[in-house]
Amino acid sequence: MAERGETDRTGGRAPPPPIGAPPPPIGAPPTERSAPPALPGARNVSALGREAAAMAEAGAAGAGAAVALVERGAGRGADPGELVALAQQVQKADEFIRANACNRLTVIAEQIRYLQEQARKVLDEANRDADLHHVACNIVKKPGNIYYLYRRESGQRYFSILSPKEWGTNCPHEFLGAYKLQHDMSWTSSENTEKRDAEISILDKLLSQQAVLPQCTEPNFQGLTK
């Protein structure tokens, strides 16, 4: 019965004695089995508990330091009037920025329309000058002279150095207009000849007075207010 009880407590039979060892005396208590070796990596539960407690204390200390860095009173409730004023300020800033952008875009759009009109004018004048240079003419055209454009009954156009006044009542063909040949080989109609000559005269004076424009690092509004 004693051997059976020992077997029940240990969960199995007692190990047999080594070969050659004397048998245990009768009535001696059975030998206790040694505790199984600890598994590798196994840790004591109490040690884990102490480490967890230490980590919790360290986390609490860090949280306290982080809270100390926050400005005191930051969590207090804001005045509703201040919130409304801030929202109005942001809205007003957006409106001003939008208005400024619209104004600048309006100026750019006007400049684009002006440049488009100037480009159209340049192209029209270039086409007209090229067309006039292809008009029939029996003389060599010289810059600075005025030539008179006529059209025959057949539809052919030609240049002549005789004006309608010089022809008098004997003008044989329809008079279309008078054009002055400029030194850049462009044509100027008779109604714009004086204006064009005045512009060329101003440019000639400017070029004769100074070959290079003066250097100016600041805005110069001279001549605009006089």
Contact of 66 with 74, CB cutoff 8 Å: no
User: What is the average pLDDT score of the chain?
Assistant: 76
The answer to whether residues 154 and 100 belong to one domain is: no
- Within-domain flag for 12: no
Q: What is the pLDDT of residue 70?
A: 43
In a shared domain, residues 142 and 195: yes
Does residue 95 sit in the same domain as residue 150? no
Q: What's the confidence (pLDDT) of residue 170?
A: 86
Looking at the fold, whether 140 and 202 belong to one and the same domain comes out as yes
Same-domain status, 171 and 148 = yes
Cα separations in angstroms, 169 against 52, 95, 157, 160, 172? 124, 72, 20, 16, 9
**pLDDT score at 206:** 81
Q: How far apart are CA 182 and CA 112, in angstroms?
A: 29
The verdict on 102 and 160 lying in the same domain is no
Distance CA 62, CA 70 (A): 13
Structural domain tally of the chain? 2
pLDDT of residue 111: 97
Q: Please, which residues have CB within 8 angstroms of residue 100's CB and are 6 or more apart in sequence?
A: none
Residues pairing with 187 in the sheet: 181
Within-domain flag for 45: no
Which amino acid belongs to residue 18? P
Give the chain's residues under pLDDT 50.
Answer: 1-12, 32, 34-36, 38-45, 63-75
Regarding whether 154 and 128 lie in a shared domain, the answer is: no
Domain membership flag for residue 124: yes
Same domain as 144, residue 130? no
Rounding to the nearest 10 degrees, give the CA dihedral for residues 72, 77, 78, 80: -170
Cβ proximity of 135 and 149 under 8 Å:
yes
End residue of a domain, out of 99, 134, 169: 134
pLDDT for the residue 203:
85
**208 C-beta neighbours (distance < 10 Å), count:** 8
Q: Provide the pLDDT for residue 7.
A: 45
> 68-96: per-residue pLDDT in tens?
444 444 445 667 788 888 888 999 999 99
In a domain, 26, yes or no: no
Q: Answer yes or no: do 122 and 140 share one domain.
A: no
Pull the structure tokens for residue 19. Answer: 């070969």
Residue 166 in domain: yes
Q: How far is CA 65 from CA 54, 62, 70, 123, in A?
A: 17, 5, 9, 76
Model pLDDT, residue 56: 56
Domain membership flag for residue 84: no
pLDDT of residue 25: 54
Cβ neighbour number for residue 132 with a 10 Å cutoff: 19
Residue 78 lies in a domain: no
Domain that holds residue 185: 136-206
The answer to whether residues 200 and 189 belong to one domain is yes
- Kindly state whether residues 121 and 145 are assigned to the same domain: no
Q: Are residues 196 and 158 in the same domain?
A: yes
- 202 is written with which tokens? 């101003």
Euclidean distance between CA atoms 132 and 149, whole angstroms = 9
**What is the longest distance spanned by two Cα atoms in the chain?**
171
**Is 72 contained in some domain?**
no
What's the rounded Cα separation, in Å, for the pair 84 and 89?
A: 9
